[in-house]
Amino acid sequence: MSGARAKQASERSRHPTEVRRQLIVEAARSVIAERGLFATSVRDIAAAGDVSIGTVTYHFTGIADILAEVLVGEMDSFYAPVIAAATAAPDGRAALAEIVDGFIASTPRAREHWVLWLDFWTLSAHDPGHASRQSEIYQRWHADVQAVFERGRADGSLRPDSAEDAIAEFMAIFDGNAAQAYLPGADLRPAEARKRLHRWIDRLPREAPRAGEPAGQAG
């Protein structure tokens, strides 16, 4: 967390409302990722963002509300670039590999993303509002994975017997490995989780190339 001096009230008031709100969200993201949702207080977030506690409570009803906003930002800052890299991949199979490597990376940034999600999953188990928001995000995730499989079917690089079953299995294996890989002290590391998922992708059937055609370009 920053060691910069706390801003005076007159300085804080110069920030437009949306700027102050974003300062809170950015500060909360760092603090919650470091300490965990249930070890973080509004006071901690206010101190990290150099705003008053009253400013935090003016914009948000509580820590859970702040975390939900943090995860909206995660979809832009972490999720979207990975999907963009997958879209730029040469075929559907390569796109699926990009998703694995991008989301389950051996980096502090990936770990921060997943510990935030693990906390949000816990909240969603007890709050219908958060559960609804999580469901909306998961629908987006499902649609993006489905698009990869559809692309792979079109280019011949992914031809499972049932695309629907393959999508469901991939998402289940993906979530299970990610949840394990980023738990504190877990035996499974992100690198091994990636290997498991790549082995699963390698077992997916592909269309045999026609004579003189490179693998993955059939169809």
3-state secondary structure of 214: coil
Residues 64-202: name the CATH superfamily: Tetracycline Repressor, domain 2 (1.10.357.10)
Query: What are the Cα distances from residue 34, in Å, to 39, 117, 142, 158?
Result: 10, 13, 29, 39
Please report, for the chain, the start and end positions of each structural domain, with discontinuous segments joined by +: 9-59, 64-202
Q: Does the fold of domain 64-202 match that of domain 9-59? A: no
Query: What are the Cα distances from residue 37, in Å, to 25, 27, 64, 104, 121?
Result: 13, 13, 8, 21, 11
Q: Is 93 exposed, middle or buried (0-12, 13-18, 19+ CB in 10 A)?
A: buried
| Per-residue confidence (pLDDT) for residue 99, from 0 to 100 | 98
| Per-residue confidence (pLDDT) for residue 214, from 0 to 100 | 52
| Per-residue confidence (pLDDT) for residue 38, from 0 to 100 | 86
- Print pLDDT tens along the chain (219 aa): 334 334 444 444 455 677 888 889 999 999 999 988 888 999 999 999 888 999 999 999 888 889 888 988 999 999 999 999 999 999 999 999 999 999 999 999 999 999 999 888 888 888 888 899 889 999 999 999 999 999 999 999 999 999 999 999 999 999 999 999 998 888 999 999 999 999 999 999 998 655 555 544 443
What fold, for 9-59?
A: Arc Repressor Mutant, subunit A (1.10.10)
| Per-residue confidence (pLDDT) for residue 37, from 0 to 100 | 86
The alpha-carbon radius of gyration of the chain (Å, integer) is 21
Residues constituting the chain: 219
Q: What is the pTM of this model?
A: 0.81
